[in-house]
Amino acid sequence: MEVRVQNVRKEFDRFPALHDVSLDIRSGELIALLGPSGSGKTTLLRLIAGLEMPTQGKIFFGDTDASEKTVQERNIGFVFQHYALFRHMTILENISFGLKVRPRSSRPPAGEIRRRALELLDLVQLSGLEKRYPSQLSGGQRQRVALARALAIEPAVLLLDEPFGALDAQVRRELRKWLREIHDRTGHTTVFVTHDQEEALELSDRLCVMSQGKIEQVGTPDTVYDHPTSPFVFGFIGESSTLPVTVENGELWVGGRAIGIPAGDASPGEARLFFRPHDVDLIEADASLAGVVSTARRVGGTRRVELEIGGAGHLVEVDLPFDHPAGEKTRLAFRPRRWKLFPAG
């Protein structure tokens, strides 16, 4: 099912949590809502679910306007951050809840409900635990029950709010792979919220970066990573270093020195240069970014050094091979391989 969010604004007691947000979610895709805390991800997800109503704007499910529809009518599967499993029901009862509460006319017979619930339990790899209660499961297992419960009603859209937020890194990675598999097998249109960019980049078909109640950029993980359209996205997705520069004579200057980077079509004046710390070449040319190492530390397979550039004391990070002999006070010169220029401010 396609979902279109059209110019939606949401206020809580006059406080705008979302400003004029528009987003087209394609049928069958797995899209991630990514952004810092308080950027409005949960709010957007709850608006799609119908757990909140927009102050302005509309939300379409396919061609029908869902803005006036209740949660129940929207037929969504919602997986809550803290699972919200029914603690007094067994796992099997939890999973079959959505089918059992259907009106008699559309409710499958009891045997059929049980069969479907067991099938889902198998899908989420928890066969044999159907008689347990939620309190007798681990966090990862609870999360999977929550997903099975949401899938049981064959939702038009599956919405997940930080599905792995409360789990440790190891379990997160496993569940991530597993969620992707389930998505590929069931083909549900899926929206999931996360503030873990690694998760978003690895798992999603497209991602939607949000900040302060606005959508900053929507695109495939590669597009967003390689071609960020705003300083915020560049800084938020992946590692980044930034430096104030001056555009003059079609070149970039730092502290009165040309650094060997063409300005392209940037207008003369102040600007900000962004690049990835790992995407640099060490060079010996005059026209380069040169600085003195202020700290150097080994991070896994690389050595990350902080360089003090020019006289103004701007600090940038660059990655070197871990066996590079750079230590404190070493002088280094480099040039980014890829970069992006944004207006200052």
Partner 1 sequence: MATKLRARRLRRTSPTSESRLVQFLLIAIALAFMGVILLLPLYAVFHEAFIKGVGAFFAALGEKDAQAAIRLTLLVAAIAVPLNVAFGLAASWAIAKFEFKGKAFLITLIDLPFSVSPVISGLVYVLLFGAGSFLGPWLKSYGIEVLFALPGIVLATIFVTFPFVARELIPLMQDQGTGDEEAALSLGANGWQTFFRVTLPNIKWGLLYGVLLCNARAMGEFGAVAVVSGKIRGQTTTMPLQVEMLYNEYNASAAFALASLLALLALVTLVLKTALEWRFGNEIAAGH
Ligand X SMILES: Nc1ncnc2c1ncn2[C@@H]1O[C@H](COP(=O)(O)OP(=O)(O)OP(=O)(O)O)[C@@H](O)[C@H]1O
Q: Which residues bind partner 1 (CB under 8 A)?
A: 49, 51, 70-72, 75-78, 80, 82, 84-88, 97-98, 101-102, 149-150, 152-153
The two beta strands, 251-254 and 64-65, are unpaired
Residue 229 CA: distances (Å) to CA of 237, 303, 340: 11, 29, 9
Question: Which of these ranges, 38-46, 147-155, 180-188, 203-211, lies near Mg ion under the rule CB under 5 A?
Answer: 38-46
Question: Which of these ranges, 19-27, 35-43, 93-101, 260-268, lies near ligand X under the rule CB under 6 A?
Answer: 35-43
- Of the two residues 42 and 96, which places its CB atom closer to Mg ion in the complex? 42
Q: With binding defined as CB under 6 A, does residue 197 bind ligand X?
A: no
Residue 103, class by beta-carbon neighbours within 10 Å (0-12 exposed, 13-18 middle, 19+ buried)? exposed
Report d(CA 249, CA 260) in Å as an integer.
Answer: 12
Q: With binding defined as CB under 6 A, does residue 42 bind ligand X?
A: yes
Written as one letter, the residue type at 333 is A
What residues contact 49, with CB distance under 8 A and at least 6 apart?
Answer: 71, 74, 76, 78, 159
- Of the two residues 35 and 221, which places its CB atom closer to Mg ion in the complex? 35
Quote the tokens at residue 87.
């603690």
Report d(CA 264, CA 267) in Å as an integer.
Answer: 9
Q: With binding defined as CB under 5 A, does residue 217 bind Mg ion?
A: no
Q: With binding defined as CB under 5 A, does residue 42 bind Mg ion?
A: yes
- Of the two residues 80 and 178, which places its CB atom closer to partner 1 in the complex? 80
Rounded to 5 degrees, φ, ψ at 282 are -80, 130
Distance of closest approach, residue 93 Cβ to ligand X, in angstroms: 29
Question: Which of these ranges, 11-19, 114-122, 257-265, 329-337, lies near ligand X under the rule CB under 6 A?
Answer: 11-19
Q: With binding defined as CB under 5 A, does residue 39 bind Mg ion?
A: no
Residues making contact with ligand X (CB under 6 A): 12, 15, 17, 35, 37-43, 195
